[in-house]
Amino acid sequence: MAELLRSEHCGIQFGGLRALHDISIRIAAGELLGMIGPNGAGKTTFFNLLTGVYRATSGVIFFDEHGLEKLKTFQISHLGMARTFQNIRLFADLTVVDNVLVAFHYQMKSSLGASVVRGEKWRAEEISWHDTARELLQFFGLWERRHELAKNLPYGDQRRLEIVRALATRPKLLLLDEPAAGMNPTEKNQLIGLIRMVHQKFQLAILLIEHDMSVVMSLCPRIIVLDYGEIIAEGTPQEIRNNPKVIEAYLGTAPVNYVTSN
């Protein structure tokens, strides 16, 4: 499969702290890749590197054949990378439908001036984006709540809305940062179904950070494990489960069979 993203020997340093070191990763178009690792391993930092929130202090990243080192976050989004955040970052005081509409921003043809003049063309485009937003929201079961403020949604809906907003940018790669955090087992199962469906319907690659093993293991054919800012393992769920380094990273010196039997 075609390569979508490649990071080569990426690292970042915060003062004396080496948050990431020598990270080389490839993601193929349409792949569903998992990323796990203990707290503070550097997973979120890696997302922030990819999306231009932080700059790598070493190494290079290519996305869809573009080097990312000089690009700003919004330009990286234009290339087709979208993300959700570990701590939900919705536009809290905007309605559900507005949270989605605003994500069409880059795809809109009308200028800002056109929304003041409001000609026929603007009107037609505005209506068509509203229709697209409705389709998306209906698909994710959020249409009924379209006029509610994002901050008033239940937690699970907020997580879903964040995914919808990211999808509205029509990404080729979707980065999900712990989408299952704070969910109960039923919600987690629904989320697994949702991610699987998104992956198929929208034909995109997904990089999934997740603490919950059952979620990553059931979704991702390939998993990367970070610990103290370094890749310590990479492989199928089966390989990861049995990798002694991974077991140690997660459980210190606990008995091996405690994890493998799970």
Partner 1 sequence: MNLYYLQIINMIGINAIMAVSLNLIIGHTGQFSLGHAGFMAIGAYGSAAFTVYQKAFFLKLFSGLPPSLAESLLFLVALIFGGTLASLGGLLVGIPTLRLRGDYLAIATLGLGEIIRVLVLNLDFVGGARGFTDIPEYTNFFWIYLILTIVVVMMTRLVHSAKGKAFLAIREDEIAASSIGIDAFQYKIIAFVVGAFWAGIGGGLFAHLNTYLHTNSFSFLKSIEFIGMVVLGGMGSVTGSILAASLLTLLPEVLRVASEWRMIIYALLLIVFMILRPQGLLGKREFKWLLPKHPKGKNG
- Nearest residue to 78 (alpha-carbon basis) of 63, 97, 100: 63
Contact window for partner 1 (CB under 8 A) among 22-30, 33-41, 115-123, 249-257:
115-123
Q: How far is CA 258 from CA 214, 251, 253, 262, in A?
A: 15, 9, 11, 7
Asked if 45 interacts with ligand ATP (CB under 6 A), we say yes
Asked if 110 interacts with ligand ATP (CB under 6 A), we say no
Q: What angle do CA 170, 173, 175 make, to 5 degrees?
A: 110
216 CB-near residues (< 8 Å, 6+ apart): 34, 36, 208, 210, 223, 237
- Which residue among 129, 208, 219, 247 contacts partner 1 (CB under 8 A)? 129
Q: Tell me the number of residues near ligand ATP by CB under 6 A.
A: 12
Minimum distance from residue 248 beta carbon to partner 1 (Å): 35
- The Cβ of residue 174 has, within 10 Å, a number of other Cβ atoms equal to 24
Structure tokens that stand for 127 in this block = 């209506």
Which H or E element spans position 153? none
Instruction: Name the 3-class secondary structure at 223.
Output: strand
Alpha helices for 146-228 (secondary structure H) = 155-168, 185-201, 213-219
Residue 39 interacting partner from partner 1, ligand ATP, Mg ion, none (CB closer than 5 to 8 Å by kind): ligand ATP
Q: Tell me the number of residues near partner 1 by CB under 8 A.
A: 42
- Which residue among 44, 77, 99, 169 contacts ligand ATP (CB under 6 A)? 44
Asked if 86 interacts with ligand ATP (CB under 6 A), we say yes
Q: Which residue has the tokens 């990763």?
A: 25
Minimum distance from residue 86 beta carbon to Mg ion (Å): 5
- Which residue among 43, 83, 159, 172 contacts ligand ATP (CB under 6 A)? 43
- Which residue among 1, 15, 39, 112 contacts partner 1 (CB under 8 A)? 112
Interface residue list for partner 1 (CB under 8 A): 51, 53, 72-74, 77-78, 82-83, 85, 89-94, 97-98, 101-106, 108, 110-112, 114-116, 118, 122-123, 126-127, 129-130, 165-166, 168-169
Interface residue list for ligand ATP (CB under 6 A): 14, 17, 19, 37, 39-45, 86
